[in-house]
Structure formats: C-alpha cells, structure tokens
Amino acid sequence: MRSLLAPASGLALAVILGLASTAAAASDAEPQERQCIAHGWQRVAMQAAGVPRKLLWKAPAGAWSRGAIVVLHGGGGRHFQWCTANSPLVAPQVRFSERAVAEGYAVFLLDSSDRVTDREGRICGKVWDDEVRERPNLDLPLIGQVLRELMPRLRPAGSRTEVFLTGLSSGGYMTVRAATHFDDLVTAFAPVSSGDPYGWHRVCEPGLSARKTVQGAGYDNETGKQIIERDACLADHHPNEQPWDSTRPATKPAFRVFHHEMDGINDRSCADKVSRLLRLHGYPGEADFVLRGGRRSLANHLWQDEYSGAVLAFFAGRMAR
C-alpha cells in the first residue's frame, strides 16, 4: 500500500494560521488550559455551525510520523483533563496523550458543548451529541471541520495523513457516531467504556444523576434498561435501532472496542452490542480489549493505563505501508 504523506505545498500558510489561531485563543484560556499550554499544548478557538468551540492540540517536532488522533472526553469531563492531571483519576488520560505525542502522533483534544438536549428538550449537560435526532447535530460539524480544515492547515510537510479517533464513555459513543459518519476520513477508531450511539437515548430529567455537570441517564432502546444495569444492552433483535450514518467508502475504518468487564457505569453488554453491530455494518474489528477482575465500580469505567499502549499499537498497526 502507498504511504500517506502530506505534500510540501502550503506548509508556510499552515504554520502562519496555526500560530495565529493559538495566539488569538490563548488570551481567554481557562486556568487548566493555561497549564496545558505551559506543557506545550496549543489552544484553538473556532466556530462550528455557528457555535463557539475550542480545542487543545500538541504534535511532535517536525512531521507527524504516525498521523493524528482526535480524543473525545467522557461525560461531565473536559478536554484539558487529557493534558493536565489536577486529579489522580485523570492521570492515565494525560499519560496517554503525552505518550501518543512521544510516539509521533499529533493529538487533538476536543471539548463538548453543554447544549445537548434530550427528546423532551431538557438540557443534558456536558456530554457529546451522539444520538440520532431530527434536530441538527451539535458535534458532527465540529469534528468535520477539524478533520477537513484544521488538520490539513496544521499538518507539516512529510507527515502521515492517517486520522484516528478515540473517546471515553460519552466520548466513546461519539467516537462511534463520528467514525461511521466520517468513515471516508477516519483510518481507525477505538471507543472506550461505551456502546452503540444508534441504539440508546438519554432522559435528562433532573435528579437522575448525582453529577453537577451531567443531567439524566442513558437507556438502551431495546431493553429499556438504564445502561448501568446488568445486561442492559442484551437483546437478540434491534427493531429500535436508528439508521446508521455512512458515506459508503470502498474500505471502512477498522475498530477495536476497549472496556472493563466490571464497568459499573456502562454495562459490558453495551460494549458487546456495539462491537457486534459494527461488524454487522461492515466495519472490520480486532478482538475486543477487555480488562477483568474486581467488583463493578466507577473506577473500572475510567480510562486505564492498560488501554494506552494497546490503543496506540492498534492505531500503528492500521497505518498504510
């Protein structure tokens, strides 16, 4: 297979645009974003579908020898929790990002909006807009703009052009939605602690969640069970599955699902469901990466250090030769 390398033309423009975006955006950065900037990350503020959005990104010096990774944070989380560890709970995320850059990937940390609503119009909080709905999607325009416009402007000459997606929890659901929606642009994707965005829905009724930044809970469309319940997503048939997005490319991106069998927030049946349905829709998948042992807990829902090397190895193995 041919090597996917960025052409030399436009490099000067890319550098100018990249520096201008960063300089303009840094002045109103949040304290945690400033911590990331102090560690070499750059901040970009942009508009996507008329909504103000922002992201942080970092790349190795010179060419991106392994392409780029888009990272989508978990529900209630923030993009900067992947580049500064003010809590030990997010330290594995930061180690993943820094390891990815050290191995030659450019890493783009996107921040969700707080405008997602459920079917009744209630605000859901700091989550990704992964569900299939009649209203315009809030996050696909942002991701498309990053893939189609921002990355090409920032990518140095001689870089690999492969694009990889990964995300945790709500970000994992959105990873699947985005990777299937943009399956002509994405090389491979790795959803973590998540499930099927085409087969679940949120009920964002106040009081269903103890978290201040997220309202409501998620339910499987077939069983009607909340995704924290055992076997929540276990069903033989899926008549309530929403139509899947796809550009119908000749070759669809590969995937690998990562989860813990004792995830106490997103039952393992939900990870099994999305893995099975991705294969049925023609996406080639490697065997799921499953951690085992312990008791069902929130801790087992979080990004684990064991995921990092396996995610990066999976992405490296999908690069064109």
Q: What is the CATH number for 213? A: 3.40.50.1820
Domain assignment present for residue 121? The answer is yes
Contact by Cβ (8 Å): 139, 129: yes
- Written as six digits, the tokens of 1 are 């297979």
Q: What is the pLDDT of residue 208?
A: 72
Domain assignment present for residue 179? The answer is yes
Q: Which amino acid is at 53?
A: R
- Written as six digits, the tokens of 130 are 């992964």
Per residue in 161-203, pLDDT (tens digit) is: 999 999 999 999 999 999 999 999 999 999 999 999 999 999 9
Per residue in 84-139, pLDDT (tens digit) is: 999 999 999 999 999 999 999 999 999 999 999 999 999 999 999 999 999 999 99
Domain assignment present for residue 41? The answer is no
The parent domain of residue 284 ranges over 50-317
Count of structural domains within the chain? 1
- Written as six digits, the tokens of 66 are 């392994």
For residues 278 and 251, give the distance between their C-alpha atoms in angstroms, rounded to a whole number: 14
Q: What is the pLDDT of residue 213?
A: 83
Per residue in 6-38, pLDDT (tens digit) is: 544 333 333 334 444 444 456 689 999 999 999
Of 195, 321, 187, the closest CA to residue 254 belongs to: 187
Domain assignment present for residue 154? The answer is yes
Please state the pTM of the whole predicted model: 0.92
Domain assignment present for residue 286? The answer is yes
Domain assignment present for residue 144? The answer is yes
Of 201, 144, 151, 152, the closest CA to residue 173 belongs to: 201
Domain assignment present for residue 1? The answer is no
Domain assignment present for residue 31? The answer is no
